[in-house]
Structure 1
Amino acid sequence: MSSYGTGLVIGKFYPPHAGHRHLIEVAAAESERVFVVVLGSRFESLTMEERAKWLGAEFASFPNVEVLIQADDCPVDYDSDEMWKAHVELMRSVLKGAGVGEVDAVFTSEMYGYQLAEAFGAQHVVVDPERRAHPVSGTLCRDDLNAAWPHIIEPARQGLATRIIVVGAESTGTTTLARALTDHYRSQFPTIGDVPEYGRLRTYEKLDELRRRDPRAGVEDLVWTTEDFSSIAERQNELENTAASRCPLVIADTDSLATELWERRYMGPHSFGAAEAAGNLPRRDLYLLTDHEGVEFEDDGLRDGEHIRPDMTEWFKDALTAAGHSWVLVTGSHERRMATATRIIDLILEQRSTFTSPPWATRTVLTGAMA
């Protein structure tokens, strides 16, 4: 039986991490219903909507947890009664909008929780103030996103990961570039994983299956179906998201958007097996499109599309532009392609790992390093 009727958890959740999850789990276990209020400032890099979406996904299986958002640009000064009242009234107002008039318990890991609970006439429940259960803080996450990655909640990792997708027509160097970029960034991101082109792996599988029935069969004898492309696109998304779960940098050798174009190549314009997966792409940072010009066609026994390479390059340009994606055509030698790619990726990584905060923001310093 719950100890409290209505519980309240407030915070920036900038970004949401395992300590936040523990705090909300405790509140949910001890309350009939819990309202999590995300307070976001215009001076912060992540929107409060993003943070609330990630928390909502993390607690989707908790029917008594509801996530609310409230813009809060009031400076923080715990010694100012006027500013403290301004913060409290923002919280009270967003709760009122959700139909909440009274709060029975305020759950925090911070000393200000006593003052906040008093303002609501509620009980203060302190949860792991020394961060022993989860030695992590928002400050540590913002200071070193790479090191903190395992401590960030899964939906936030999916949203925060920098995703670089390499695409292109047959035999234009996509796999070579994707592998070289992965190797290049491995020292900076030791947990970076390979995201291979699953369609190629599936081609090997289908060919092996066919040759067990007919040893003389070749790639030209393969029969593709709409269902094939649907499963390939879904699996490509899974591989990419698994890599994002492990590391804040993902470099993928193709994706489900590209699978749509390969489906068009082999099945014609009226086959839509990959459409659903391609319509549910995670956020992208950049597509690198490998140019067919200046690259010799290499027939490895699975390729038969030398004649269509120029057309497919145009298909990629059109599809990426129509979808509103950021993309760069990489041309020239492999060395020049790497130079182009790393130059822009380095800038994206710097931007994605920089978290801005208002001048009054405090830093949480924990005893000991993150586990």
Structure 2
Amino acid sequence: MKRYGHGLVPGRFHPPHAGHHHLVRTARDRCERLTVLVRGSSTEPLPLEDRVDWMREIHPDVLVVGGEEYTGPEQVDAVFTSEPYGDELGRRLGAETVHVDRVPPLSDTAVREDPAAFWDFLEPPVRAALTRRVVVLGAESTGATTLALALADHYRRRGGVWARTRYVPDHARAYRALEPAELRSADFPVIAQHQAELEEEAARDGSPVLFCDTDAFAATIRHERYLGTTSRATGEIAALGRQHLWLLTDHRGVPAADDGPRGGEHLRPWMTARLLAQLAHTGRRTAVLTGPHEERLATAVAAVDALLAEGPHLTEEPR
């Protein structure tokens, strides 16, 4: 089989899937050096910068660059492609065109229209970006943890790829044994950052939906609740979050547990109101859950199903 000095694999990789990776690995095995050109712009549904980062993570042994045209200094000896436009690009670059059958024979359009149907053909960083992330949050003793666990179980029961639905626990629970006076402002960004890392890890190998028992946004409200001030550092972490839906568990109708110095029925209405106000102020998509557990679960499932039905909005054709 003929080998080449410098090969080029062009493509939009919107999103990258197993068929693309087969093409890249085939080209890599036949070239001394390989460049992957991720074509497109930052205004597409999946920004160019993200696609470049994903391809670099998935293919660390090749050079990955972004742009519409190859402008590198090195002569291209062969263009590897599964698309008809490869012939014209090869002619422009004075390179041989090598056609590679796509294995598996995936349709880019089909993957964009329904990523969940092709979930197993996507690599972890791509799955993390496309996962719909749902946060369950509320004041103390409002059943947020119970509901988040129930939601994860509900979607696992759907089977198939959904059987891998993950639940991210509340990392802050480790701090709740502390007295309020022992909490420091510096603790909250640490809590928020670790919570975000746990979420990202779970999104990489779960199903198309992820349930989180709190998030960095909730940590900003907890900072107000316990220390009486806002935390800029925690807020900056929250602003980087990639969540899509917040389910707020109302305190009404749920008995308050005896939570020592952290408890207090008089604080739960404040917490609920503050969470709701800030969710609205920051434009976060929210559903408020009221009534008994069964009613809350049904409301939550309806909100999540509506989110999933909308999909990650990839069907706009890249320009």
TM-score (ref. length: structure 2):
0.80
CA distance in 1, matches of 2:130, 2:173: 28
CA RMSD of aligned residues (A): 3.4
Measured against aligned partners, the alpha-carbon deviations of 1:144-190 in whole angstroms (never above 9, x if no partner) come to 63463343133321221011111111111211211111111112211
CA distance in 2, matches of 1:349, 1:269: 36
CA contact (8 A) 2:138 2:249 kept: yes
1:113 aligns with 2:86: yes
CA contact (8 A) 1:161 1:250 kept: yes
Change (3 A) 1:26 1:280: farther
1:56 aligns with 2:29: no
- Equivalent pairs: percent with the same residue? 38
1:37 aligns with 2:33: no
Counterpart code for 1:123? E
**How far 1:305 moved relative to its partner?**
3.7
Q: How does 1:232-247 map to 2 (within 5 A)?
A: 232-246=191-205, 247=207
Q: How does 1:188-207 map to 2 (within 5 A)?
A: 188=158, 189-203=162-176, 207=177
CA distance in 1, matches of 2:41, 2:301: 36
What is the number of residues matched between the two proteins? Answer: 306
Q: How does 1:1-371 map to 2 (within 5 A)?
A: 3-4=5-6, 7-11=8-12, 13-24=13-24, 30-31=32-33, 33-38=35-40, 48=44, 50-60=46-56, 64-68=63-67, 94-95=68-69, 104-110=77-83, 113-114=86-87, 116-118=89-91, 120-127=93-100, 129=101, 131=103, 138=108, 141-142=111-112, 145-146=115-116, 148-188=118-158, 189-203=162-176, 207=177, 219-220=178-179, 223-246=182-205, 247-282=207-242, 284-300=243-259, 303-352=262-311, 356=315
Bigger radius of gyration, 1 or 2?
Answer: 1
Could you tell me which runs of 5 or more consecutive residues in structure 2 were left unpaired when the two chains were aligned.
none
Counterpart code for 1:187? R
Change (3 A) 1:303 1:15: same
CA contact (8 A) 1:192 1:243 kept: no
CA distance in 2, matches of 1:125, 1:39: 26
Counterpart code for 1:250? L
TM-score (ref. length: structure 1):
0.70
Counterpart code for 1:253? D
CA distance in 2, matches of 1:352, 1:273: 31
CA contact (8 A) 1:34 1:64 kept: yes
Counterpart code for 1:259? A
Change (3 A) 1:67 1:302: farther
Counterpart code for 1:52? L
Could you tell me which runs of 5 or more consecutive residues in structure 1 were left unpaired when the two chains were aligned.
41-46, 69-93, 208-218, 359-371
Structure 1 residue matching 2:166: 3-state secondary structure? coil
Structure 1 residue matching 2:182: 3-state secondary structure? coil
